[in-house]
Every structure is written in structure tokens, then in C-alpha cells.
């Protein structure tokens, strides 16, 4: 399957679709990852992955990828339906701040409104990947195994 939205539903107590992200979830605030919940994972799901990406950010990654990765979590068991606020469980990828784990919104001052997409992927393989993967590297490994996906989008501006 290629990347296409599915019947999965993604929601959050901390984020509302299309609304502003609270300061506590920003990099300059408390830098706490938001709570996320998902349902309707496809039959055959063997693991879940979550990532947050800002496509409005300037080109910063190689090899020619766009935007900014704020969060990547993987090796999530298929029976899991939620990441709690501030979740430290599961394997964590490298964000574009150069850190492993969550790095909240921090668009350049005066750069305008940035959109943050919190993606949930249902995969047909059980993952046992090490911490520290970058998003492009992770997606290259799992893209052929995506059974379903959806996202929640919120915005932030400095």
C-alpha cells in the first residue's frame, strides 16, 4: 500500500483538529508531547508508529526531504490505542532538533503559521527497530508495510 488515508481515526484530548497547539506542547513551553488516541486499526496490524511533521518548515534535512520532524515513535504493540501526554515508552526516533524523542513546535519568529501533522501508521510487521532513526530512514523501512494511516493536524505560530 502506498501512503493514503484510511478509515483509522486519530484524536486527542490535547489537540483539536485545525486548532492552535497549546504552549505547553511547544519547544519553548514545557515541550511535552500531546496525548494521542487512535481507533479502527486495520485487521492484520502488527505494530503502530506515530510521527509529527511540519511541512511548512524550510528545507533542513538530507537527502532533499522537506519540512521538520518533531517526533517519531515506533515499535508500538498493535493492541495499543493511545500515547499518553509526555509518553516516554517505545522506541524513539531522532527529531530535526538533533534529539531523540519529542521536540515541540518552534517555527522561526515571524515565519507565520505552521501546520503540524500527527500521523499514526498501522503496519503489517512487528517492529524491533533501535532508537534514533531519522524519519526518512524509518519511512523507507516501513512504507511497503503500511496497512492504514491517518492524522490530526493542528497549528502553531511564534
Q: CATH no. for residue 122?
A: 3.90.280.10
3 occurs within a structural domain? no
16 occurs within a structural domain? yes
131 occurs within a structural domain? yes
**pLDDT digits over 29-53, tens only?**
999 999 999 999 999 999 999 999 9
Percent of the chain with pLDDT over 70: 93
The whole model's pTM is what?
0.94
Question: How many domains, in total, are found in the chain?
Answer: 1
18 occurs within a structural domain? yes
Q: Give the mean pLDDT of 7-34.
A: 97
Quick one: pLDDT band at residue 1, thresholds 50, 70, 90?
A: very low
Boundaries of domain holding 127: 9-156
Quick one: pLDDT band at residue 25, thresholds 50, 70, 90?
A: very high
Q: What pLDDT is attached to residue 57? A: 87
3-state secondary structure the chain: CCCCCCCCEEECCCCCCCCECCHHHCCCCCCCCCCEEEECCCCCCCEEEEEEEECCCCCCCCCCCCCEEEEEEEEECCCCCEECCCCCCCEECECCCCCECCCCCCCCCCCCCEEEEEEEEEECCCCCCCCCCCHHHHHHHHHHHEEEEEEEEEEECC
Amino acid at each position: 500500500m502506498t501512503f493514503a488515508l484510511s478509515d483509522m481515526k486519530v484524536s486527542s484530548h490535547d489537540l483539536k483538529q485545525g486548532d492552535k497547539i497549546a504552549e505547553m506542547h511547544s519547544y519553548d513551553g514545557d515541550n511535552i508531547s500531546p496525548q494521542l488516541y487512535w481507533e479502527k486499526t486495520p485487521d492484520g496490524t502488527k505494530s503502530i508508529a506515530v510521527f509529527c511533521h511540519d511541512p511548512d518548515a524550510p528545507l533542513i534535512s538530507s537527502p532533499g526531504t522537506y519540512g521538520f520532524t518533531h517526533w517519531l515513535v515506533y515499535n508500538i504493540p498493535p493492541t495499543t490505542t493511545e500515547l499518553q501526554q509526555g509518553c516516554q515508552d517505545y522506541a524513539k526516533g531522532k527529531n530535526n532538533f538533533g534529539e531523540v524523542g519529542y521536540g515541540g513546535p518552534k517555527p522561526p519568529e515571524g515565519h507565520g503559521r505552521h501546520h503540524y501533522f500527527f500521523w499514526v501508521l498501522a503496519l503489517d510487521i512487528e517492529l524491533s527497530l533501535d532508537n534514533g532513526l531519522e524519519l526518512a530512514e524509518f519511512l523507507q523501512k516501513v512504507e511497503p508495510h503500511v496497512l492504514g494511516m491517518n492524522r490530526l493536524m493542528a497549528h502553531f505560530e511564534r
